[in-house]
Amino acid sequence: MIRVLCTLLLASVAAGYDQDYCFAYEENPYLMYGTKTAYEFVHERPRNPDGVPHCQPVQFWMLSRHGTRFPDSKSIYTMQRLPDLRDQIINNHEKRHRGRLCPEDLENLRRWTLSVFPSQAKHLTNQGHDDLKFMARRFKTQFPKLLNQTYSQDLYEFRFTDSQRTRASAIAFSEGLFGSSAGVYLPPALKNDTLIKAYDNCPRWRDEVGNNNRTLEEKHMFQLGPQMQALLQNVSERLGFGYRLTFVQLDEMYDMCRFDKAWNIRNVSPWCAVFSKEELQLMEYREDLEYYYRSGYGNEINVKLGCPTVKDLINRFSRMENHNHQDRIQPAGIFYFTHSAALHMTLAQLGIAKDQDHLTHTNYNTMKNRKWRTSKIGPFASNLAAVLFRCDEGEEHRIIFYLGEHIVPYEGCNVGLCSWSYIRDKFANIAHDCNLDFCHKHHSGTQQNLALSSLTTAAVVAVIFFKQTFI
């Protein structure tokens, strides 16, 4: 009898189940949810002001993703199916006596309601406003000589893309720095912004990456692999279904899990109980594969599209380096508000969060400590800040990069403190030669690649459909 019980217990653990486990009571839940991670869970905590001996900060440059937003209209529409799925899960447990959710997790699902509407699609949430407002206050505390000043249009520049969520993020950040009645000037957004949304104005990127099915091949192949197939089977059984759910349903539950948590950071997200910690890590890697090739190191054109922002950074700091009192006043703070792709491309151009090996569908186990982790480099409100310092000892100018308010241990620098001349010289060619001419050059192989990738993706989709339908 003991041997039988042990065998059953081992089988349960192998399948990812623990009947005594309740997500509702988890004291340290896994909160790394890829690009929908709440910024509150990943940003650095406040440090001592300024923090560089014998140096004073003289300019602050920042590129930030917008704060927490609502889903797009398509996702909101598909989320309308979740109440029915929720009711089936409850029915599986209570009437069919199938499924392995604990009573507390089941009760949380029962009480859950969908509270997002199509009119809110992609708009900044209240939490998104707080993301940027409190980020600004922390930077202000960190760099009071630069950011704790009375607002002046000459001293502080704001720029955002043509979207509600980035404009609202800029407003929230300005309120965190200057209050709500400072009269901060926010210039109109450019319709075709080639600085902070270069990829959106690059036909070649749209053809070769953005609209190219080949971009998703590694993600799709990972989805076909044994780990994701086991995940789908385990989740289906955990929820009490006698058949496999689809990856579409899996994504709907996962998105609701992470959006719920991002909107309400202090509450339990009922849909996260669907997944074990290891399964959440697999879902995170699956999304990392997508963004690695869509906006990261997986495609060389992504790196090239990071040059406009890096050029702006280098040129800004160079003007400050050569500034004298007779010149035009240089701003103390430059603040840009954009989207995850622009941030990822800038990081790629700078060589930040670069792994020795490419992320692929076959190396999940060896990439668990990867640097390219969208939960940390691309959550809501993710940001890259660079601060130029003028120093009394040693080299006159130095620079520190901050990613999500964490000091970046940049290669060739001393625990993140870099020689400005080293960074300036490293990117001198970018500052001088960067342009988007390559975006408009015709490449004969593009259409062929698109056709081949379409066939590949069609094959992948057909296999997935076969497995979900007949296995």
Q: What is the model's pLDDT at position 41? A: 97
Residue 205, pLDDT > 80, answer yes
pLDDT tens per residue across span 373-413: 999 999 999 999 999 999 998 899 999 999 999 999 999 99
- Report the pLDDT value the prediction gives residue 19, as an integer from 0 to 100: 54
Give the pair of three-digit tokens for residue 71: 């889903």
- Cβ pair 453, 214 in contact under 8 A: yes
Confidence of residue 52 (pLDDT cuts 50, 70, 90): confident
* pLDDT, tens only, 284-303: 999 999 999 999 999 999 99
Q: What is the pLDDT of residues 446-463, one digit of tens each?
A: 433 443 344 444 444 444
Least confident window among 76-85, 124-133, 179-188, 452-461: 452-461
Number of domains in the chain: 1
Q: What pLDDT sits at residue 45?
A: 79
323 — pLDDT class (breaks 50, 70, 90): confident
- Per-residue model confidence (pLDDT) at position 315: 96
**pTM recorded for the entire structure:** 0.90
Is the pLDDT reported for residue 212 higher than 80?
yes
Residue 350: give its domain's CATH number.
3.40.50.1240
Q: Is the residue at 386 inside a domain?
A: yes
Does 4 score more than 70 pLDDT? no
For residue 460, being part of any structural domain is answered with: no
> 351-362, pLDDT tens digit by residue?
999 999 999 999
**What pLDDT, on the 0 to 100 scale, is given for residue 468?**
41
Rounded Cα–Cα distance for residues 306 and 434 (Å): 10
Domain membership of residue 109 (yes or no) is: yes
Residue ranges making up the domain that contains 222: 29-439
In a domain, 10, yes or no: no
Catalytic residue among 66, 93, 361, 397: 66
| Whole-number percent of the chain with pLDDT over 90 | 84
Contacts (Cβ under 8 Å, ≥6 apart) of 100 = 17, 19, 237, 238, 240
Residue 15 lies in a domain: no
Inside any domain, residue 457? no
In a domain, 3, yes or no: no
What value does the mean pLDDT take over residues 364-370?
Answer: 97
pLDDT digits (tens, 9 = 90+) for 24-43: 999 999 999 999 999 999 99
Decide: 38 and 380 in contact? Cβ < 8 Å.
Answer: yes
Average pLDDT value over all residues in the chain: 90
What is the mean pLDDT of the segment spanning 230-247?
98
What is the chain's length?
471
Residue 103 has pLDDT above 70, yes or no: yes
User: Average pLDDT of 248-253?
Assistant: 98
**Residue 201 covered by a domain:** yes
Q: How far apart are CA 114 and CA 86, in angstroms?
A: 11
432 included as an active-site residue = no
Higher pLDDT, 424 or 394: 424
Q: What is the pLDDT of residue 8?
A: 34
